[in-house]
Amino acid sequence: MPTITTIQDLKDLHERRVPRMFYDYAESGSWTEQTFHENTTDFEKIRLRQRVAVDMTGRSTAGQMIGEDVSMPVALAPVGSTGMQHADGEILAAQAAEAFGVPFTLSTMSICSIEDVAANTSKPFWFQLYAMKDKRFVERVIQRAKDAKCSALVLTLDLQILGQRHKDIKNGLSIPIRPTVPNLIDLATKWRWIAAMAKTKRRQFGNIVGHIDGISDMSSLSIWAAESFDPKLNWDEVKEIKKMWGGPLILKGILDAEDAKMALNVGADAIIVSNHGGRQLDGALSSIRALPAILDAVGDKVEVHMDGGIRSGQDVLKALALGAKGTYIGRAFVHGLGAMGGPGVTKALEIIHKELDTTMALCGETNVADLGRHNLLVPKDFEGQWQSP
Ligand code: GLV
């Protein structure tokens, strides 16, 4: 067993232990993967201001996201098919998040259902929703999230049609896995994954199967999304969903200041600056690069969160110092889950927490609430040259 000190270490184990098609599903972006890659490489362009001889005792990374106490402002992002990265993956990740004191967001496209996650956790989690053509499904799933005492609804706005990820097509991604020769050869080395999967009954999209009408092929995410996601989603519909839900609403997938203002107008409690991990509009700005302009436009009026590209506590610090009130990790926790199940998610959170805490101290700060642009060295063109006219 290698010594694990970074998210990259967890990623390497994830790659070794999980069937290729699920590892690739997580570790891919759409088309050329430019935005997927720039989500991480743009973080590297921002440098930190080292400060010395500052009393660094009594440090705290604790804060709040939409009024909920968090041990650090890092939530687990909604990730589709998490229960295929490891048996019962959503339950294990939710439990790890709960123990660590950070929010867990359950995807509509999860393997473990809302009810299953609620039955296996004791604190409220957040539920992520895709707007569907089947309005009865939307009403019912919102009611199910209310019944499960979910404390926020995260409505995704950037995936009404699915961006193409070449690897998923080439791998023949399907749930369950089809018994083709390449898949069987791959599975022959994934005994750990198979042994855990053999012990669970949760191997289908738990929020969907048995709850939605007129779907011809649930095994293919692309066919399913094309058939059931509502391409007509607009701001009026967002308002209706907000009314139906009646609780804290987080709008995910905002990458433009104009859309951030629209989100503000419909009364979002928070927005997530996000390009869906580079999985949708290839060629869009990285999230960290899009963040400053959105903060400048609405940051004093609505809580602004961000996701995309965070693989370390230094990345979290950079997003917070730019002005984000919260961040999300997707792949970083999925690497932990694929590598080692629940303890792997805890490990990912520990790594990021330690990096955030140490980086904060070496920047001369003792509380995440005090982080600001004064802690950063941002290239002059980082925001400016990308603005639309
Ligand atoms: C679903 O959210 C995906 O990006 O595959």
- Give the whole-angstrom CA distance, residue 26 versus residue 7: 14
First vs last Cα of the chain: how many Å apart? 53
pLDDT in tens, 113-163: 999 999 999 999 999 999 999 999 999 999 999 999 999 999 999 999 999
- Whether the CB-CB separation of 193 and 23 falls below 8 Å is answered with no
pLDDT for residue 208 is more than 90: no
Which residue carries 């996201």 as its tokens? 65
Looking at the domain covering 7-365, what would its CATH class be? Answer: alpha beta
The reported pLDDT for the residue numbered 382 is 75
pLDDT for residue 389 is more than 50: no
Distance 279 CA to ligand 1 centre (A): 7
For the chain, what are the domain ranges?
7-365
The reported pLDDT for the residue numbered 176 is 86
Which run of H or E residues covers position 212? none
353 is in an annotated binding site: no
Which run of H or E residues covers position 305? strand 303-307
Distance 241 CA to ligand 1 centre (A): 21
14 in catalytic set: no
Which residues is 155 bridged to in the sheet? Answer: 129, 251
The active-site residue, picked from 14, 37, 86, 276, is 276
128 is in an annotated binding site: yes
Which residue's CA is the closest to the ligand 1 atom numbered 5? 80
Which residue's CA is the closest to the ligand 1 atom numbered 1? 80
Distance 150 CA to ligand 1 centre (A): 21
Provide the pLDDT confidence category of residue 387 given band limits of 50, 70 and 90.
very low
The reported pLDDT for the residue numbered 214 is 61
- Give the whole-angstrom CA distance, residue 16 versus residue 347: 17
Distance 226 CA to ligand 1 centre (A): 13
The reported pLDDT for the residue numbered 217 is 61
Ligand 1, CB cutoff 6 Å, lining residues: 80, 109, 159, 276, 279
Average pLDDT, rounded, for the chain: 94
274 is in an annotated binding site: yes
Q: Which of 294, 223, 222 has the alpha carbon at shortest distance from 253?
A: 294
80 is in an annotated binding site: yes
Give the three-class secondary structure for 231: coil
The reported pLDDT for the residue numbered 216 is 56
Q: What token pair was written down for 110?
A: 């999860």
pLDDT for residue 209 is more than 70: yes
Q: What token pair was written down for 255?
A: 């990458």
